Amino acid sequence: MNSTEQLRQILSRHLPISSIDYCIEIWEKKPFHFTVTRARKTKLGDFRYRKDRSIQTITINGDLNPYQFLLTYIHEVAHLHAFLAYGMKIPPHGSEWKKTFQFLISPLLRAEIFPKNILIPLSLHMKNPMASSARDLFLMKEMSKYDKTSEDCPQVFLSDLKPGIQFELSGRIFKKGETRRTRVLCEEVKTGRKYLIAQLAKIKPLD
């Protein structure tokens, strides 16, 4: 298990400075193994309960910006606290987890921690938190403004394009179609095949 000093060193590289003491405090109350991993396309963080282990493990992607990292950290810690409080039979993102998540993040919902452009949509999001914050388009757009950017990592979302516009994603050319909840039905120009792509996918417009 991490020591307090080890955890502080890890968190100091990833979190807003003003949030570190609190994040260590909640770790000290209910300790867990903590690991920063490489980027994963399917998830930002992970908590998995193991019956054969007295100390559970939480992992978070290392490529997240400080505010996304903080939100993900509290999200995953809330899973641990909820299972310890209510047992393993509760739904992963049910009312018990939501209440725990809201309780744990409430001390952080202030301007000293989050910029105002994030704090407003985050406060709204936390009134009824979703299983994944990535489903909250408004919140994720504001969060993404603090991502590291480069010419190879555009800051244009698929949701920003009008239907019919072509775009490049992972070296392939698509045409945007109709939006279906959190995803968009798009046609790959070369093959004519249809794919559902997340509205929050960062793409390169071609038209």
Domain boundaries, the chain: 4-144, 158-205
Q: What percent of the chain has pLDDT over 90?
A: 72
What CA–CA distance (Å, rounded) separates 129 from 126? 5
- The residue ranking higher by pLDDT, 202 or 177, is 177
Confidence of residue 166 (pLDDT cuts 50, 70, 90): very high
What CA–CA distance (Å, rounded) separates 94 from 91? 5
Question: Nearest CA to 118 among 152, 145, 79?
Answer: 145
User: What integer pLDDT is reported at residue 149 of this predicted model?
Assistant: 66
What CA–CA distance (Å, rounded) separates 102 from 66? 19
Look at 3-17, 131-145, 179-193 and tell me which has the smallest mean pLDDT. 131-145
Between the ranges 50-54, 124-128, 152-156, where is the mean pLDDT highest? 124-128
Q: Which H or E run contains 12?
A: helix 4-12
How crowded is residue 61: how many other Cβ atoms within 10 Å of its Cβ? 19
Between the ranges 51-55, 98-102, 155-159, where is the mean pLDDT highest? 98-102
Q: What is the pLDDT of residues 81-132, one digit of tens each?
A: 999 999 989 999 999 999 999 999 999 999 999 999 999 999 999 999 988 8
Output 64-69 pairs: Cβ under 8 A, ≥24 positions apart.
64/14, 65/143, 65/144, 65/146, 65/147, 65/148, 66/14, 66/15, 66/16, 66/146, 67/16, 67/114, 67/115, 67/118, 67/143, 67/146, 68/44, 68/143, 68/146, 68/147, 69/14, 69/15
Q: What is the mean pLDDT of residues 142-156?
A: 74
- pTM, two decimals, is 0.84
Phi, psi (degrees; rounded to nearest 5) at 195? -135, 145
Please check the confidence at residue 152 and state whether its pLDDT lies above 60: no
Look at 42-46, 166-170, 179-183 and tell me which has the smallest mean pLDDT. 179-183
Please check the confidence at residue 155 and state whether its pLDDT lies above 80: no
Please check the confidence at residue 154 and state whether its pLDDT lies above 80: no
Q: What is the pLDDT of residues 4-33, one digit of tens each?
A: 999 999 999 999 999 999 999 999 999 999
What topology is assigned to 158-205 in CATH? SH3 type barrels. (2.30.30)
DSSP bridge partners of 33 = 57
Question: Side-chain half-sphere of 21: how many Cα atoms within 13 Å?
Answer: 3
Look at 23-27, 194-198, 199-203 and tell me which has the smallest mean pLDDT. 199-203
Question: How deeply is 12 buried, as exposed, middle or buried, from its count of CB atoms within 10 A (0-12, 13-18, 19+)?
Answer: exposed
What CA–CA distance (Å, rounded) separates 207 from 5? 51
